[in-house]
Amino acid sequence: MNAPKTLAPKALAFLLPLISGALVLTPLIATGGDVAFPTTRTDLNPKDLKRVETVTRPTTDFSKPEQFELMAGGAATTRADVNGDSFSHFSANITFAEEGTFKLGNALFTKLWVAAPSSTQASDGLGPLFNARACQSCHLKDGRGHPPEGGADATSMFLRLARPARTEAEKQQVATYQKLNFPDAVYGEQFQDLAVPGLASEGKMQISYEEIPVKLADGEIVHLRKPTYSVTDLGYGPMEGDVTLSPRIAPPMLGMGLIQAIPEADILARADPDDKDGDGISGKAAMVRDHKSGELKLGRFGFKAQNASVRDQSSSAFAGDLGISTPDDPFDHGDCTKAQAACLAMPTGVQERLGPVEAPDPVLDLVTFYSENLAVPQRRDMGNPEVLKGKEMFYQSGCTACHTPKFVTRRDAGNKAQSFQLIWPYSDFLLHDMGEGLADGQQVGVADGNEWRTQPLWGIGLTKTVNGHTFFLHDGRARNLTEAVLWHGGEAQKSRDAFAALSKTDRAALLKFLESL
C-alpha cells in the first residue's frame, strides 16, 4: 500500500476528533490458481542479483559477527535504548512527513472504541460482540500477547472457530481459494467473550494444562504444559459438533512492512511441498485472496499465513477483534451471525457523513502505515563468544532450514523505507507440519491442522523487557524458549532432537543467541 503522505481536508476533519481529547482517542512459477509468480527476482539487474545472492548466503564463519548483522531491519532498524518501548519506535529511515503519518496511525491504534450510539460518533461502532476495545489492548506495547495466567484476563488471546468443508461445493471453494474454511453457524469465525451493554457475550474460554516431563540428553528434566481448550457459559446455544477451537495470542508487530517487501520469488524458492530434496523439510506456500480486490496473492502474515498484506491483517483485526467495519471488511456487526438476532439488531457506528463503514479511510490507511513501520531493534551482544557459539549450534541443529536468517527486500517496494534492505527475520514465511503436539486440527486455506507459518525470531529476546513475560508459540503454552523448542515436532523434529541432545553449555549458548535477536 502506498500510504498517504498528506491528508485531504475531509480526512483531517474526520481524524481530528478521533485523536483529540474531545472524543477520546520473466519465467513464471504456477501456483495452481489463477496467478503465477516469477521464479527469479524481476526488480534487480544481474549485478545486484549477484550481490543479493552473495550477501544472503548462509554463513560458515562463527568466529565473529557477520557484516551488517547489527542492523536486523536494515536502515529501518531502531537504535533506541532498550526498554519497554523497544517495539514501538518508527522506522529510522522514514521521512519527517511520514513520522507525522506514523503518529496519527499510533493514535488510532491505541484509541478506545465505544458502543453505538454515542456522542463520540467518530469512535463508536464497537462490536456488538468483540474481544478488545483497541488494537493496543491485544498488542500491548506492540508486542506479544499472553494466555490468561492466574487473575490475568484473556484480552490478548482468543479462539478461532472453523469447521471443515462438508460438501463438494464447499471443497471446491477451498480449492479455488474462495474460502479459507467455514465458520460455526452460531458463533461465527471467532469466539468473542465481550459484548456491548444490553447484549450477552458468546461465553468464556477455558484452558486446562497437563504437565509433561521431558528428559534431555544430559539428564535435565523440562516440564512442558499441554493445554486443552473448551468454552463455557455459551450465550447462544451449542456449537456445531465438527467445529475446532484454535487458540491465538497476539503476535509482535515489528518489521511487518519489511516482511511485506520480501520478493515472492525469494520465499517461493525455499518451498518444497513434496520434499523433493529429501531433507525432511517441505515448506509450503500459502495462497490467499486479497480482501479488497480478490486477487490471489502469497500469504505471509498470521499464524497460518492467511493474509497477504499488512492492510489485510489490519482489516481482519478490526472486523474480528473489535467488530469495526472497514472498506476492505465492511461488516458493521462484526462477526455476528444470522443465528444471533439480538446482535444484528444492535445499532452500528456507521455515520452517513463519514462514509459507509465505521472506520473509513484514512483510518485503515493510517493504521496500516503505522503497522508497516514499527521498527526492528538492533541486535545486542553479537560479538559475545557465547552468542557466537550459540549461533553455530543454531545452524548445526538445522534450525535455519525453516528459520531463514536473512533476505534482501524489493527495490520497488511500495515505500522507500523498505526498499532494498538486508533484513534478518529468521523465518522462511512458509507453512510447515509441526507435528501432532502443536496441531490445532483446523484447516486455514492450504494450511492443514498440523501446519503453521514459521514465526520470525527478530526481537524475541526482548519479549520479557517489553511485555513482562516469556510465553511463546501460537497459544503461549511455552513458558520460556527451551519449552518452545521442545514443542517442535513434525518437520522440525530433527532440530528439536538435536537441541535436546546438546550439552548444557551448548544449549545455554543457543538460548543466549536467541536472546540476542
Quote the percentage of the chain above a pLDDT of 90: 88
Residue 130, pLDDT > 50, answer yes
- The per-residue pLDDT for 270 is 96
- The per-residue pLDDT for 513 is 98
Q: How is residue 469 written as a grid cell?
A: 513475560
Helix, strand, or coil here: 69?
coil
- Name the least confident of 227-241, 350-364, 393-407: 350-364
Q: Which residues contact 42 (CB under 8 A, 6 or more apart)?
A: 26, 265
Residue 351, pLDDT > 50, answer yes
Residue 35, pLDDT > 70, answer no
> Is residue 129 a contact partner of residue 334, using CB atoms and an 8 Å limit?
yes
Contacts 24+ apart (CB under 8 A), 233-236: 233/203, 233/204, 234/187, 234/202, 234/203, 235/200, 235/201, 235/202, 235/203, 236/186, 236/187, 236/200, 236/202, 236/339, 236/340
Q: What number is the average pLDDT over the span 130-143? A: 96
Residue 18, pLDDT > 70, answer no
Q: What number is the average pLDDT over the span 17-29? A: 39
What whole-number distance in Å separates Cα of residue 2 and Cα of residue 135?
22
Q: What number is the average pLDDT over the span 414-443? A: 98
Residue 364, pLDDT > 50, answer yes
What whole-number distance in Å separates Cα of residue 507 and Cα of residue 510?
5
What whole-number distance in Å separates Cα of residue 340 and Cα of residue 357?
21
Given pLDDT bands bounded at 50, 70 and 90, which one contains residue 131? very high
Q: For residue range 450-471, list pLDDT tens digits in order.
A: 999 999 999 999 999 999 999 9
Residue 13, pLDDT > 90, answer no
Q: For residue range 74-129, list pLDDT tens digits in order.
A: 999 999 999 999 999 999 999 999 999 999 999 999 999 999 998 887 889 999 99
Residue 20, pLDDT > 90, answer no
Residue 2, pLDDT > 60, answer no
pTM of the model: 0.93
Residue 16, pLDDT > 60, answer no
Q: What number is the average pLDDT over the span 236-257? A: 97
Residue type, 278: G
Mean pLDDT of the chain: 92
Backbone phi and psi for residue 503, each to the nearest 5 degrees, phi listed first = -65, 160
